[in-house]
Amino acid sequence: MTKPVRVIISGGGTGGHIYPAIAIANTLKSLNPDTEVLFVGAEGKMEMQKVPQAGYKIVGLPIRGLQRGFDLSNFLLPWRFLNSLLKARKVIKEFRPQIAVGVGGYASGPLLYIAGLMKLPTLIQEQNSYAGITNKWLAKRASKICVAYEGMDAFFPAEKIVLTGNPVRKDILSADQKKAAAISHFQLWDNVPTLLIIGGSLGAGTINKSVQGAIETLKQTSVQVIWQTGKYYYESCQKAVVASGATNIRVFDFIGQMDLAYAAADVVISRAGALSISELCLAAKPSILVPSPNVAEDHQTKNAMALVKADAALLVKDTDAHQNLIPTALKLLNNPEKKKVLSQNIVKLSYPNAAEQIAKEILNLI
């Protein structure tokens, strides 16, 4: 017989924060069916949709991030932060959790800060190789800090750190067994090299423009392409492919079955967000990383360099992508030895049991 436990998980903003959080919640429930989980996110962000779709309750805080340049909404930030603190306190008092977990994103700041003041144990999950400002601030009161990279004692107290890796969707673990299903799902040709292009949950403008500029080149190669553009870019990318007459490029705004996308891929082009990298490590795919320059502390470049130094991925800078990205991908697709080396090295960096490790840390703290 298991003991009922109550856990708050806070954070979000992107799929890179949301999907690991859901994986942790699912694992907690599998380890202890009497676990009750409440999510806390930021109003208007994608977690307010994705979390209920996964079957969990979520409460939104009015927190926002600092907007670049002159933006009148920045003047409301102090009010939003104070209001978020008050609402976080109310949520904690009503739900009465035994622990608060932060996965990154705006909402984790106020929630974990108040939880710490109320003497609740707190656990932070830092997904990147370079810690964000919020997590560095919260670390002083955190009970445990679960990380995905070595060397994180540069940011956090060493005695609090547990190296767990990042939780990812379980279906990716068996992606290598789904090649036939993947070919059928994406309507691909058998025995034709496949290039998978992904830009994160919101899409990536630079990657999409680089691919658009190379559609004629791709059309003339013996390669097929699965291209996930993000909703914002989908229409223009799809129109460009149709106008070119290319029959070897499949365009999607969003790919729900990423396990099949990885199963089909011989080479992957991706941003270097923490979740994307963790999935690529588990799927053991030869990868070309294009770090986004529009993220805090340029953490995607630091994520990517951790792999590049281990000869586990290639890197193309965002500024060089238009000229070099597709030529680099085509060269890699035609280099079986390099693909093999990258695949062997990237899988060494995977943590297939990350969700279980983090869930056990949470239960131990309770």
Which residue carries 């130094």 as its tokens?
A: 309
329: amino acid identity, one letter:
A
Residue 242's alpha-carbon distances to 51, 227, 245, 354, in angstroms, are 35, 13, 5, 42
Residue numbers belonging to the annotated binding site:
14-16, 128, 169, 201, 255, 300
d(CA 19, CA 256): 12
Q: Taken in order 51, 52, 56, 62, is the CA torsion positive or negative? A: positive
234 has which bridge partners?
none
Residue 347's alpha-carbon distances to 47, 66, 173, 174, in angstroms, are 29, 37, 11, 13
347: amino acid identity, one letter:
V
Strands 267-270 and 314-315: unpaired
Tell which residue, 260, 257, 199, has the closest CA to residue 230. 199
d(CA 63, CA 117): 19
Residue numbers belonging to the annotated binding site for UDP-N-acetyl-alpha-D-glucosamine:
14-16, 128, 169, 201, 255, 300
d(CA 366, CA 363): 5
* SS3 category, 313: coil
- DSSP class of 4: P
